[in-house]
């Protein structure tokens, strides 16, 4: 199955351009922005640009397979569509459209609890692995009830975000006096602030058969604690640079997390992953999957479900190119021997992975 957008969008930066044109200024800034100085956002990109490839040659790479698996299901790429709040702001179908796009592209998706849609409707939106992501807005019984609802609705795993104990100052929004409609009636932030390892253990103990993922792990120490409590997956993330300012780039943290996990759980990572080469780098460093946030939202805003599918098609092309030039034919062959530290060549930014994109040009 193909997106049908091969002629309209031949490169990823063309999708970014289309999204910019179609979104209003407030929603665009909400999508691309970070916290305060946006240092963590830039460090996400800098960390990826500080990794160079070490290619091997004279190997048969006539057949390259970038596929992976998650929850016992084969997926097209080692990719998850990360949880993004208020998807309806980018396209009216919101999570249902994303489910259709993920299903057509055959990648996994995490659906944010910040949605106006019913859990069952999103699950029915498209085939493919689905994980429900939760912001804690109640006590342990409330969290347990959300676990029951999600698993009863047909989700394959349950993710709790753990890096939003304090809601950050996103100055692109504040400076424009943009009040996000989905936060006006938001309550229960005090429960997220109080949520601890003990709370998580109590909830997890109630559901021994549920696969739990913790999203927002930023140190090896916390990755180890998560594994000691028996999580299915550790998600290395700094919320796309939208929570703690002056944090480390996710790709720089990833090796520390992988070492701490030591095979006891799966590892996911996100944070400015924008090209097929970025995904290959993450796999080299030990990640099982890469979360895409802003990138798939560009596809969603540009062309709905087909736009998401086109993003995955282009990433697949880029991954196959990189893998072939590295001298590998499957993800299992990748390891740290294929990468090394290097000086970045570009000033980092939310769109620095797209050097041909100039959003200041007329019409962008």
| Residues labelled catalytic | 239
From CA 259, how far away is CA 256, in angstroms rounded? 5
Question: How many alpha carbons lie under 13 Å from residue 198 in its C-beta half-sphere?
Answer: 2
Tokens 């939106």, residue located: 125
Measure CA 18 to chain center.
Answer: 21
Strand extents, DSSP E, the chain: 51-53, 68-70, 73-75, 79-81, 108-112, 130-134, 157-161, 212-217, 233-236, 266-269, 289-292, 339-341
Do 285 and 254 form a contact (C-beta atoms < 8 A)?
yes
Strand extents, DSSP E, 82-123: 108-112
Strands 157-161 and 212-217: parallel
Do 47 and 252 form a contact (C-beta atoms < 8 A)?
yes
Do 281 and 51 form a contact (C-beta atoms < 8 A)?
yes
- Quick one: tokens of 195? 């949520």
Do 266 and 233 form a contact (C-beta atoms < 8 A)?
yes
Query: Distances in Å between the alpha carbon of 204 and those of 110, 211, 213, 308?
Result: 19, 9, 11, 33
- DSSP annotation of 272 reads S
Determine whether 346 is exposed, middle or buried from the number of CB atoms within 10 Å of its CB (0-12, 13-18, 19+): exposed
From CA 146, how far away is CA 313, in angstroms rounded? 34
Which residues have a Cβ under 8 Å from the Cβ of 349 and sit 6 or more positions away?
41, 42, 45
């Amino acid at each position: 199955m193909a997106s049908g957008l091969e002629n309209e969008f031949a490169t990823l930066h063309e999708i970014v351009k289309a999204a910019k044109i179609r979104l209003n200024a407030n929603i665009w800034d909400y999508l691309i922005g970070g916290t305060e100085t946006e240092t963590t956002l830039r460090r996400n990109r800098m960390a990826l640009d500080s990794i160079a490839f070490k290619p091997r040659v004279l190997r048969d790479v006539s057949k390259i397979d970038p596929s992976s698996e998650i929850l016992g299901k084969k997926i097209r790429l080692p990719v998850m569509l990360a949880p993004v709040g208020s998807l309806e702001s980018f396209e009216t179908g919101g999570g249902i459209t994303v489910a259709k796009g993920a299903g057509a592209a055959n990648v996994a998706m995490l659906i944010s609890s910040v949605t106006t849609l019913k859990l069952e409707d999103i699950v029915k939106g498209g085939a493919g692995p689905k994980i429900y992501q939760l912001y804690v807005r109640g006590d342990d019984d409330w969290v347990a009830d959300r676990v029951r609802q999600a698993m009863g609705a047909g989700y394959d795993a349950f993710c709790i975000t753990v890096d939003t104990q304090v809601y950050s100052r996103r100055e692109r929004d504040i400076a424009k006096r943009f009040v996000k409609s989905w936060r006006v009636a938001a309550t229960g932030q005090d429960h997220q602030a109080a949520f601890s390892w003990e709370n998580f253990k109590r909830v997890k103990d109630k559901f021994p058969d549920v696969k739990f993922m913790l999203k927002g792990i930023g140190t090896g120490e916390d990755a180890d604690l998560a594994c000691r409590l028996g999580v299915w997956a550790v998600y290395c993330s700094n919320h796309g640079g939208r929570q703690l300012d002056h944090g480390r780039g996710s790709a720089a943290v990833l090796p520390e997390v992988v070492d701490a996990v030591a095979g006891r759980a799966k590892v996911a990572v996100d944070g400015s992953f924008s090209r097929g080469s970025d995904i290959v780098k993450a796999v080299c460093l030990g990640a099982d999957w890469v979360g895409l946030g802003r990138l798939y939202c560009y596809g969603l805003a540009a062309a709905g479900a087909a736009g998401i599918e086109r993003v995955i098609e282009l990433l697949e092309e880029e991954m196959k190119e990189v893998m072939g030039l590295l001298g590998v034919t499957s993800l299992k062959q990748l390891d740290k021997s294929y990468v090394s530290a290097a000086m970045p060549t570009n000033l980092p930014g939310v769109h620095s992975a797209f050097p041909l994109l100039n959003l200041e040009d007329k019409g962008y």
